[in-house]
Amino acid sequence: MSHRTIRRSRTRLRSAAVALAAVVATATLAACGGEDASADSDATTVFKLGDPGNSGVLAYAKKTGVLEKKLAEADATIEWGGSYASFTATIDAVRAGDVNVLEGAISPAIGYLSTSDDLKIFTVAPRPTDPKAPVGDGLVVPKDSDVTSIDELVGKKVAVNKGGRGEYLLDLALDDAGIAHDAVEKVYLNPVQAAGAFSSGKVDAWWAIVRGYPTAVAQGAKTIVTSNEVGDNDLTIFAARTEVVKENPEALKVFLDTVTELTEESTKEPEKFQNVFTDSGPTAVEGAALERDIEVQRYSTPFAPVTDADIATIQDVADYFFENGLISRPVEATSAAVKLGS
């Protein structure tokens, strides 16, 4: 029986228990939220988000002010902050209090939640399954590398973001190939550092995520395996600091509804969600990269409130992290996520 089959079997066996615990946790949180909201009814909730850059739903929302307008009706507002390369890179800003709502994936969130319980996943979106959608992540080697399969990386250096999506996907790929996780030398770097190490030849391979993968491929890197081929169980998420969830869950619902509406709009008119602020300069995208970004937006999937099935998925990823030593203590999905309702 494969590692993946064992994980799926375990998830099915515990789904009922997870669902029941989720109901209890949701009821408790709702009660707490009601009490806090009543106590601070005159306060305005401030959503602190990282700068969304020049493309995507949040960039469009920032330019048009649509989120601020909708959130004002729920006694909330937004502060746009600094720029961060990934979810993992944003975590320091979360700890410092500069960011309290952020987008990412289950995998990097689990790393944070294994050391702190002050973050709640409040909405998820499945990764695109349409075969025409561009591939999001992949294990790449330099264009002049002799490596053609993952087993040829045994004993070689592979760059990944520690305890995040890159390391999660690499381990899944090693599982599928029947290779021990420590048979390759993992070099822990953030996406920006990894791009530099890869281009300079300091590592033999890189599990590239976010914009790193398409950029590497455009520069001639060869793909060994992609996230579509390794049983990726991750979900795209938004998470918020616990105090935000308790203080104003209604504002989070408004945030979710607005982002969902914009995502649905972006699948129909993806072009207007590119080069939102400028079509020239270092943040602008053009040519083949722009065409790819348009297709990524076209096949993006809307966010939805967390369900019992999502909590089971979060638990599956969390269990994988703990069982494979990616985190030092287990994470309970019923504490890591909150069900806001439809």
Q: Which two tokens stand for residue 136?
A: 């999001």
In this predicted structure, the answer to whether residue 36 has a pLDDT above a threshold of 60 is no
Report how far residue 65's alpha carbon sits from residue 226's, in angstroms, rounded to the nearest whole number: 37
Phi/psi for 46 (5° steps) reads -105, 115
Residue 172: inside a domain? yes
The chain-wide mean pLDDT, for the chain, equals 88
Exposed (0-12), middle (13-18) or buried (19+): which is 338, by Cβ within 10 Å?
A: buried
In this predicted structure, the answer to whether residue 33 has a pLDDT above a threshold of 70 is no
Residue 133: inside a domain? no
Residue 37: inside a domain? yes
Contacts with 34 (C-beta within 8 Å, 6 or more apart), sequence order: none
pLDDT score, position 231:
87
- The count of residues in the chain is 342
170 and 207 share one domain: yes
- How many separate domains does the chain show? 2
Structural contact between residues 81 and 51, judged by C-beta atoms closer than 8 angstroms: yes
13 and 118 share one domain: yes
Residue 261: inside a domain? yes
Instruction: Provide the percentage of residues in the chain whose pLDDT is more than 90.
Output: 79
Of 45 and 4, more confident: 45
pLDDT score, position 88:
76
Boundary of a domain, candidates 210, 229, 248? 229
123 and 249 share one domain: yes
pLDDT score, position 30:
43
pLDDT score, position 91:
86
pLDDT score, position 251:
97
Angle at 211 between CA 209 and CA 216, to 5 degrees: 85
282 and 192 share one domain: no
204 and 269 share one domain: no
In this predicted structure, the answer to whether residue 306 has a pLDDT above a threshold of 70 is yes
Q: Each residue of 196-254: pLDDT tens digit?
A: 999 999 999 999 998 899 999 999 999 999 999 998 999 999 999 999 999 999 999 99
8 and 103 share one domain: yes
Report how far residue 147's alpha carbon sits from residue 204's, in angstroms, rounded to the nearest whole number: 9
Boundary of a domain, candidates 213, 229, 245? 229
Q: Each residue of 84-101: pLDDT tens digit?
A: 877 877 888 998 999 999
193 and 306 share one domain: no
pLDDT score, position 42:
57
Q: Each residue of 6-27: pLDDT tens digit?
A: 444 444 444 444 444 444 344 4
Residue 132: inside a domain? no
Which CATH number do you get for residue 156?
3.40.190.10
Cα 235 to the center of its chain, rounded Å: 7
256 and 188 share one domain: no
In this predicted structure, the answer to whether residue 29 has a pLDDT above a threshold of 50 is no
Phi/psi for 2 (5° steps) reads -75, 160
Residue 72: inside a domain? yes
Residue 278: inside a domain? yes
The model's pTM is 0.84
123 and 257 share one domain: yes
Cα 166 to the center of its chain, rounded Å: 11
247 and 161 share one domain: no
Q: Which two tokens stand for residue 74?
A: 């729920």
In this predicted structure, the answer to whether residue 272 has a pLDDT above a threshold of 90 is yes
Task: Give the structural domain span for 164.
Answer: 138-229
Query: Residue 140 to residues 158, 196, 232, 239: CA-CA distances in angstroms?
Result: 9, 14, 17, 29
162 and 285 share one domain: no
Residue 341: inside a domain? no
Boundary of a domain, candidates 229, 249, 266? 229
Q: pLDDT band for position 37 (50/70/90)?
A: very low
96 and 7 share one domain: yes
Report how far residue 232's alpha carbon sits from residue 313's, in angstroms, rounded to the nearest whole number: 11
Q: Which two tokens stand for residue 135?
A: 């591939």
